[in-house]
């Protein structure tokens, strides 16, 4: 070999030993080794090989590939000097997308690349762990939370107000519904946040009155039945209360009856309005004298106004 100036490199392949005796018709095969740069998952190693193809080289180095691994060159690529080969070994990652799990093989280095590879789209409000910029490895589990905001419109009935009004024409202790109430309706707009379809928060953003409520009106009786006993007609003006006629009287309403008392003959029972006597009115003559001549200016108490056709003047009333 020295005679032919052939330099046999350390990694070259030679069909005979350098110390073998040369004979007639002897065939000597010399294969020069090529330098190969092999990178596996970013870690580069330099090799020297006499293999003809990439597949032969990987077999020679006991490097096995799985169906999910990524090889930068075709297996039948011829090996030449300073050939660069890159292998990305695939690993398995679990993706939990809104509760649905799937396991995928990947050789990508980041979460974002994995999502793109599997056509997984994130929306504006969605959450993901780890972040899309995080690096991947065989221990990475990806969790995606789907977030959406929706508007929930709820109609709520509002209790109607109850108004109680005194009614002098209704007996005391009795109640009567004058107007039935109707509930109002309010439309409430809520902003609801859902995570993976489950409600996690609710915020009231708007209220609208869809129907005004109508108040319930209840009449409360204030009318009191009073029994007024009357004696026989008398001409004296010294009775506790003396009946006298007058064109003007106050408006208080009472239920009264007329009957005899003591040993005197009993009269018939009457129901009427009893009013106070008023002499100081705009249409009165200002003298303060009743029809029976009783002086109300001097003695303002003890006289009531009556209709003489019902209760005779001068009747004593208790």
Q: Taking the CB of residue 256, how many other CB atoms lie within 10 A of it?
A: 19
Dihedral through CA 292, CA 294, CA 300, CA 301, nearest 10? -70
pLDDT 10s digits, 182-199: 999 999 999 999 999 999
| Mean pLDDT across 143-152 | 96
Residues 318 and 294 in one domain: yes
Which residues constitute the domain of residue 54? 13-88
Residues 260 and 306 in one domain: yes
Which has the higher per-residue pLDDT, 225 or 70?
70
Within-domain flag for 84: yes
Looking at the structure of the chain, the number of domains it has is 4
Distance CA 190, CA 153 (A): 6
Residues 216 and 274 in one domain: no
Mean pLDDT across the chain: 81
Residues 60 and 21 in one domain: yes
Counting residues of the chain whose pLDDT is more than 70, the rounded percentage is 77
Distance CA 42, CA 26 (A): 46
What pLDDT shows up at residue 260? 43
C-alpha pair distances (Å), 241 with each of 237, 250, 292? 9, 16, 13
Within-domain flag for 262: yes
Task: Assess whether pLDDT exceeds 70 at residue 222.
Answer: yes
Within-domain flag for 5: no
Is the distance from CB of 142 to CB of 111 less than 8 angstroms? yes
- We report the CATH number of the domain holding residue 186 as 2.20.230.10
Peptide bond before residue 130 is cis, with ω within 30 degrees of 0: yes
Which of 195, 222, 249 is the C-terminal boundary of a domain?
A: 222
Residues 83 and 95 in one domain: no
| Mean pLDDT across 4-27 | 70
Within-domain flag for 187: yes
Residue with tokens 């209220």: 207
- We report the CATH number of the domain holding residue 140 as 3.10.20
Task: Assess whether pLDDT exceeds 70 at residue 132.
Answer: yes
Task: Assess whether pLDDT exceeds 70 at residue 264.
Answer: no
Within-domain flag for 3: no
Residues 236 and 310 in one domain: yes
Question: Residue 296 — very low, low, confident or very high, per pLDDT cuts 50/70/90?
Answer: confident
Residues 318 and 230 in one domain: yes
Residues 110 and 183 in one domain: no
Residues 211 and 180 in one domain: yes
Within-domain flag for 207: yes
Residues 80 and 103 in one domain: no
pLDDT 10s digits, 58-87: 999 999 999 999 999 999 999 999 999 999
Within-domain flag for 253: yes
Residues 230 and 303 in one domain: yes
Distance CA 232, CA 260 (A): 7
What pLDDT shows up at residue 261? 44
Question: Residue 275 — very low, low, confident or very high, per pLDDT cuts 50/70/90?
Answer: low
Contacts of 104 (CB under 8 A, 6+ apart): 92, 93, 95, 114, 118
Residues 200 and 167 in one domain: yes
What pLDDT shows up at residue 299? 76
Which of 200, 222, 244 is the C-terminal boundary of a domain?
A: 222
Within-domain flag for 236: yes
Which of 201, 222, 243 is the C-terminal boundary of a domain?
A: 222
pLDDT 10s digits, 160-190: 899 999 988 888 889 999 999 999 999 999 9
């Amino acid at each position: 070999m020295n005679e032919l100036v052939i330099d046999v490199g350390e990694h070259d392949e030679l069909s005979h030993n350098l110390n073998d005796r040369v004979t007639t018709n002897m065939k000597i095969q010399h294969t020069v080794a090529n330098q190969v740069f092999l990178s596996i998952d970013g870690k580069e190693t330099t090799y020297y090989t006499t293999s003809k193809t990439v597949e032969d080289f990987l077999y020679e180095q006991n490097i096995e590939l799985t169906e999910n691994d990524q090889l930068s060159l075709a297996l039948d690529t011829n090996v030449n000097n300073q050939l660069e080969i890159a292998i990305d070994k695939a690993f398995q990652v679990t993706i939990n997308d809104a509760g649905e799990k799937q396991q995928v093989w990947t050789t990508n280095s980041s979460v974002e690349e994995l999502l793109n590879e599997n056509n997984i789209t994130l929306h504006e409000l969605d959450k993901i762990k780890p972040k899309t910029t995080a690096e991947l490895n065989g221990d990475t589990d990806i969790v995606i939370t789907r977030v959406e905001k929706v508007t929930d419109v709820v109609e709520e009935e509002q209790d109607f107000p109850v108004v109680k009004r005194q009614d002098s024409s209704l007996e005391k202790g009795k109640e009567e519904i004058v107007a039935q109430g109707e509930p109002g309706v309010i439309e409430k707009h809520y902003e609801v946040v859902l995570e993976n379809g489950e409600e996690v928060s609710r915020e009231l953003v708007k209220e609208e009155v869809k129907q005004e409520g109508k108040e319930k009106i209840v009449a409360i009786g204030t009318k009191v039945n009073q029994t007024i006993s009357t004696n026989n007609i008398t001409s004296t003006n010294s009775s506790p209360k003396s009946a006298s006629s007058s064109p003007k009287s106050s408006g208080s309403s009472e239920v009264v009856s007329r009957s005899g008392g003591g040993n005197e003959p009993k009269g018939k029972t009457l129901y009427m309005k009893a009013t106070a006597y008023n002499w100081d009115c705009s249409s009165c003559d200002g003298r303060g004298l009743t029809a029976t001549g009783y002086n109300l200016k001097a003695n303002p108490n003890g006289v009531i106004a009556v209709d003489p056709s019902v209760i005779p003047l001068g009747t004593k009333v208790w």
